[in-house]
Amino acid sequence: MIRTIASALAALALAFPLAAQEVPAALAPGEIVAEAAPQDWIRIAPEDLLVMTLAPAADGTAREVVIQLMPPPFSQGWVENIRTLARAGWYDGISVNRVQDNYVAQWGDPNHDNPEAEGEAKALPEGLRVMNQDEYVLPTNGPRIGAALAHLFRQDTKEDGSIEFPSDSYAQLTLHVDGWPSAVESPSSLWPVHCYGMVGVGRGMSPDTGSGAELYTVIGHAPRHLDRNIALVGRVIEGIEHLSSLPRGKGALGFYEDPAKRVPIRSIRVASDLPVAEQPRFEYLSTESASFARYAEARANRRDPFFIVPAGGADICNIPVPVRRTATK
Amino acid sequence: MIRTIASALAALALAFPLAAQEVPAALAPGEIVAEAAPQDWIRIAPEDLLVMTLAPAADGTAREVVIQLMPPPFSQGWVENIRTLARAGWYDGISVNRVQDNYVAQWGDPNHDNPEAEGEAKALPEGLRVMNQDEYVLPTNGPRIGAALAHLFRQDTKEDGSIEFPSDSYAQLTLHVDGWPSAVESPSSLWPVHCYGMVGVGRGMSPDTGSGAELYTVIGHAPRHLDRNIALVGRVIEGIEHLSSLPRGKGALGFYEDPAKRVPIRSIRVASDLPVAEQPRFEYLSTESASFARYAEARANRRDPFFIVPAGGADICNIPVPVRRTATK
């Protein structure tokens, strides 16, 4: 569903011409992505990639998870803390302690804040920033967000000057900002949203905002009620099945009651700290590209042969940003 | 987010008085459900319960999945086929053949429609109905749906006569009908929606609509683009972790490439066919009860202590219908 909104934000759109919309008749979303031009793909900086190595599975299968950290202006205090923790080797030897069905998989120090701890909690490294909960949301007048909003309005303005936005159950409008699914309340507040695979920062009760020492990823239906209540710092871009297919914990909130069920984390490394030959290379489809606009439209209106009735809409978490691994060089 | 709609459907609401809304200050959704009166719970008929027994896990853990089939007016041709298949013992010995991350787990005859089949496909029992794809949607003027819509309008009509509905990305409005998440396009079309745990009927290319011999359940973000394109027949109400935590298939669409990875299904039984002492008993919270209205409101506006900012809305798949097992008697 789309709805027409007259909003203060719409004024941003007036300076831009209308974009001609070209929609091939029957391409599936994946086919549109496969046809995207090389210049529509943006390389992810190695500084923004985390490589998390779990202990091998019972059958010996290696388990590696790659996380893309958010770029500015999102959550940078927590993102910096995560790099600090990774570089201190602090994450090495912690574990996945919680897997709650249709919700999250969470990893951290199992002895932290645990009344049944078997040992001492690990001391945190020096220099971690303490973030304020105001920083869960961002102003919309920064340059990156302003440009993304202007792009959205340019793209969706109709000939009569009205603008149609996809309806969303949680926000006035949703959009992708530099590749990240985001929501806006007019006129001045933007936040990243909890889609499948997004990575967030575990915390205690407010005003605690978490340091980044405990992290989780979404393994079920988007828990958008967590938006603006917890910091998001990235997303799993490879290997999420090593977390989403773990046995569910039988304790409260999906924590493993038996410590032996926890999954050891061998290490978490910032990719730029690895030898160049070992650095994984990934790129994402620019959410400001015409290819992405066609892909998003096709996700909302499936015309590939299996489908009979196009939905006429898609929530932002059903338009996952295409990410691909490229050859190491 | 909510939006105000003036709709032909709204006329239904005029005959009803406004409901007084009582919202306790800080109860979590689960606490509201725990306080619901016994009469707000509706027993699920044993005829509407399927018990699916998988082969035990590698560590010997028993794996049982309970599915609630949809009552009239939903998808009854397919639901009857499923009872026919279960009663013929047809499902016994089939397997889970496909587990695609953030999408579906699917079970059926691995030799059906499989170019690499190792054996003959199983013959289907006599008497299966062939359903028309028109039956993916329902008219809104039937008695059950009409009553549910009237309830919705009564509940949400404001003092000035306007009605606010939760915004939805896929339909004009969403509501629960007799416990089932549903969507409506005004004025005459209603369909059940693909939330986490919903069970649907695999099919080939249109006009095939599937018989019920191949089934899937949603194990990721709600794939609402499947709505109106495939028949939904029920939902998993217990044991979904035995499907959602299975290893993901490495073949196309998440099919297991190695037949040895398939998970054998020992049997699928209609609960009413089991000895009474073995029949599982479940009940669901009436979606027409005041308790459910309070629960849904609390899901959309979390006030329990962890939360700082209530979302102000929730999509229908984030308001799962509470279901509980009760003692066998």
User: What single-letter amino acid sits at B174?
Assistant: T
What mean pLDDT is predicted for residues B212-235?
98
How high is the pLDDT of residue A328? 62
How high is the pLDDT of residue A329? 52
Evaluate whether B242 touches B16 at the Cβ level (below 8 Å): no
Picking from A197, A307, A312, the nearest residue to B229 by CB comes out as: A307
- The pLDDT-based confidence of A327 (bands split at 50, 70, 90) is confident
- What is the C-alpha to C-alpha distance for residues B136 and B230, in angstroms, rounded to an integer? 7
How high is the pLDDT of residue A152? 79
Q: Spell out the residues 6+ positions from residue A292 whose beta carbon is closer than 8 angstroms to its own.
A: A36, A40, A176, A285, A286, A321, A322
How high is the pLDDT of residue B18? 34
Q: Is the pLDDT of residue B10 over 50?
A: no
pLDDT digits (tens, 9 = 90+) for B17-64: 334 444 445 899 999 999 999 999 999 999 999 999 999 999 999 999
Picking from A205, A240, A244, the nearest residue to B305 by CB comes out as: A205
What mean pLDDT is predicted for residues A274-282?
97
Picking from A244, A302, A313, the nearest residue to B101 by CB comes out as: A244
Q: Is the pLDDT of residue B316 over 70?
A: yes
Q: Is the pLDDT of residue A89 over 70?
A: yes
The residue of chain B nearest to residue A195, with distances taken between CA atoms, is B221
Q: Is the pLDDT of residue A110 over 50?
A: yes
- The reply to whether residue B170 touches residue A133, judged by beta carbons under 8 angstroms, is no
How high is the pLDDT of residue B159? 78
- The reply to whether residue B248 touches residue A247, judged by beta carbons under 8 angstroms, is no
Share of chain B above pLDDT 90, in %: 77
Residues of A in contact with B197 (CB under 8 A): 102
- The pLDDT-based confidence of B11 (bands split at 50, 70, 90) is very low
Q: Is the pLDDT of residue B327 over 70?
A: yes
Residues of B in contact with A314 (CB under 8 A): 169-170, 224-225
How high is the pLDDT of residue A158? 77
What average pLDDT is seen over chain B?
90
Residues of B in contact with A313 (CB under 8 A): 169-170
How high is the pLDDT of residue A126? 96
CA distances from residue A18 to A151, A159, A167, B1 in whole angstroms, order as listed: 11, 8, 21, 28
pLDDT digits (tens, 9 = 90+) for A91-107: 999 999 999 999 999 99
Q: What is the pTM of this model?
A: 0.92
Share of chain B above pLDDT 70, in %: 91
How high is the pLDDT of residue B154? 79
Q: Is the pLDDT of residue B15 over 70?
A: no
- The reply to whether residue B318 touches residue A195, judged by beta carbons under 8 angstroms, is no
Residues of B in contact with A247 (CB under 8 A): 241, 245
Question: In Å, how far is A294's CA from the nearest CA of chain B?
Answer: 16
How high is the pLDDT of residue A307? 94
Which among B209, B225, B229 is the top mutation candidate for probing chain A, defined by the most A β-carbons within 10 Å of its own β-carbon? B225
CA B308 from centre of chain: 31
Residues of B in contact with A309 (CB under 8 A): 136, 228-229
Share of chain A above pLDDT 70, in %: 91
Which among A3, A138, A209, A221 is the top mutation candidate for probing chain B, defined by the most B β-carbons within 10 Å of its own β-carbon? A221
Q: Is the pLDDT of residue A164 over 50?
A: yes
- The reply to whether residue B315 touches residue A169, judged by beta carbons under 8 angstroms, is yes
What mean pLDDT is predicted for residues B182-203?
93
User: ipTM for the complex?
Assistant: 0.92
Q: Spell out the residues 6+ positions from residue A225 whose beta carbon is closer than 8 angstroms to its own.
A: A170, B299, B300, B302, B307, B310, B311, B314, B318
What mean pLDDT is predicted for residues A122-137?
96
- The reply to whether residue A168 touches residue B166, judged by beta carbons under 8 angstroms, is no
Q: Is the pLDDT of residue A18 over 60?
A: no
- The reply to whether residue B245 touches residue A246, judged by beta carbons under 8 angstroms, is yes
The residue of chain B nearest to residue A103, with distances taken between CA atoms, is B220
- The pLDDT-based confidence of A118 (bands split at 50, 70, 90) is confident
- What is the C-alpha to C-alpha distance for residues A81 and A77, in angstroms, rounded to an integer? 6
- The reply to whether residue A222 touches residue B221, judged by beta carbons under 8 angstroms, is yes
pLDDT digits (tens, 9 = 90+) for A180-238: 999 998 768 999 999 999 999 999 999 999 999 999 999 999 999 999 999 999 999 99
What mean pLDDT is predicted for residues B214-238?
98
Lowest mean pLDDT, pick from A113-117, A208-212, B68-72: A113-117
Question: In Å, how far is B252's CA from the nearest CA of chain A?
Answer: 13
Q: Which residue has the tokens 């950290």?
A: A69
β-bridge partners, A165: A3
How high is the pLDDT of residue B231? 98
How high is the pLDDT of residue A25? 56
The three-state (H, E, C) secondary structure of chain A, written as one string = CEEECCCHHHHHHHHCCCCCCCCCCCCCHHHHHHHCCHHHEEECCHHHEEEEEECCCCCCCCEEEEEEECCCCCCHHHHHHHHHHHHCCCCCCCEEEEECCCCEEEEECCCCCCCCCCCCCCCCCCCCCCCCHHHHCECCCCHHHHHHHHHHHHHHECCCCCEEEECCCCCCEEEEECCEEEEEECCCEEEECCCCCEEEECCCCCCCCCCCCCEEEECCCCCHHHCCCCCEEEEEEECCHHHHCCCCCCCHHHECCCHHHCEEEEEEEEHHHCCHHHCCEEEEECCCCHHHHHHHHHHHCCCCCCCCCCCCCCCHHHCCCCEEEECCC
How high is the pLDDT of residue B1? 52
Which among A225, A236, A295 is the top mutation candidate for probing chain B, defined by the most B β-carbons within 10 Å of its own β-carbon? A225
- The reply to whether residue B318 touches residue A101, judged by beta carbons under 8 angstroms, is no
Q: Is the pLDDT of residue A17 over 70?
A: no
